[in-house]
């Protein structure tokens, strides 16, 4: 279809960049901070913020002058969540998997060049991995992300990795493209992907793709926890269990499509 950037509207792109600049680590930002972060002139940033504020996408703290996301973003998020069939189909299977494994179970989907965690059930153990619902994470160094990359067809995975690069998060992060391609090829053969302390030291994550009726990845499912509990015996057992669970979820997606016709 050609380069989609050709059809972009610059003002819309900049407004969306402002919204995307807010995250868990920067939930409140000033005009100056946003301007510096995004490389947009301060006057333009100010005008865009006022436009977003008029539609309640952002709000300004009257005392400190900081901006934060507004209720309209929450409203749209709820609307998206209510229409996200993957979560409603997967959740009963996720609960069974979490009860059995007693480790953190996550469901994610591809969003741009990252993964977005849609749902999670945290482990009951005091030492456990976070659920991180609503947070984004890199693809190349997570079990969920590698499962998603391995499920992509044609050159799409390589194109994503070329855009994002392979930044190092721990000493075990794979930062070589040729090695990453071998890793993804292995994940395709095995049916699962593994992150062994590549995103966070001390944490292991086992991820598998969840396919839609067309055989494309609707998302990915994972079990994660501390390396002290997710040993080789655990990984061997739960690789098979995770693949079966993802297959059951895929079947649920297919039956829902049939019922909606």
208-231 mean pLDDT: 93
- 109 to 12, 68, 183: CA distances (angstroms): 24, 26, 20
- Alpha-carbon distance of 131 to 154, in angstroms, equals 31
- Alpha-carbon distance of 97 to 209, in angstroms, equals 15
Half-sphere exposure (Cβ direction) of 214: Cα atoms closer than 13 Å = 6
Cβ 203 vs Cβ 83: under 8 Å = no
Domains of the chain, first to last: 4-75 (1.10.10.10), 84-259 (3.30.450.40)
Q: Which of 34, 36, 82, 42 is closest to 58 using CA atoms?
A: 34
With cut-offs at 50, 70 and 90, classify the pLDDT of residue 6: low
To the nearest whole number, what is the mean pLDDT of the chain?
89
- Among 64-68, 245-249, 255-259, top mean pLDDT goes to 245-249
* pLDDT on residue 85: 82
With cut-offs at 50, 70 and 90, classify the pLDDT of residue 27: confident
Share of the chain above pLDDT 90, in %: 65
């Amino acid at each position: 279809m050609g380069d989609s950037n050709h059809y972009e509207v610059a003002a819309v792109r900049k407004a969306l960049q402002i919204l995307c600049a807010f995250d868990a680590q920067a939930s409140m930002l000033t005009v100056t901070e946003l301007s510096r972060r995004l490389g947009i002139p301060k006057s333009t940033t100010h005008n865009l913020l006022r436009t977003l504020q008029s539609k309640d996408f952002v709000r300004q703290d009257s005392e400190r002058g900081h901006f934060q996301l507004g209720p309209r973003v929450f409203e749209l998020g709820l609307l998206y969540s209510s229409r996200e069939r993957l979560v409603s189909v997967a959740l009963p299977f996720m609960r069974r998997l979490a009860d059995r494994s007693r480790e953190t179970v996550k469901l994610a989907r591809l969003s741009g060049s990252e993964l977005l965690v849609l749902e999670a059930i945290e482990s009951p153990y005091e030492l456990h991995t976070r659920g991180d619902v609503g947070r984004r994470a890199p693809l190349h160094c997570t079990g969920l992300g590698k499962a998603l990359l391995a499920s992509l067809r044609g050159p799409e995975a390589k194109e994503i990795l070329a855009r994002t690069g392979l930044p190092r998060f721990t000493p075990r992060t794979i930062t070589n493209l040729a090695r990453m391609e071998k890793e993804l090829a292995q994940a395709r053969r095995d049916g699962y992907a593994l992150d062994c302390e590549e995103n966070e030291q001390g944490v292991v994550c086992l991820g598998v793709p969840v396919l839609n009726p067309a055989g494309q990845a609707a998302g990915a499912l994972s079990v994660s926890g501390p390396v002290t509990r997710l040993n080789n015996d655990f990984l061997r057992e739960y690789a098979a269990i995770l693949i079966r669970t993802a297959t059951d979820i895929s079947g649920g997606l297919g039956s829902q499509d049939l019922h909606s016709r």
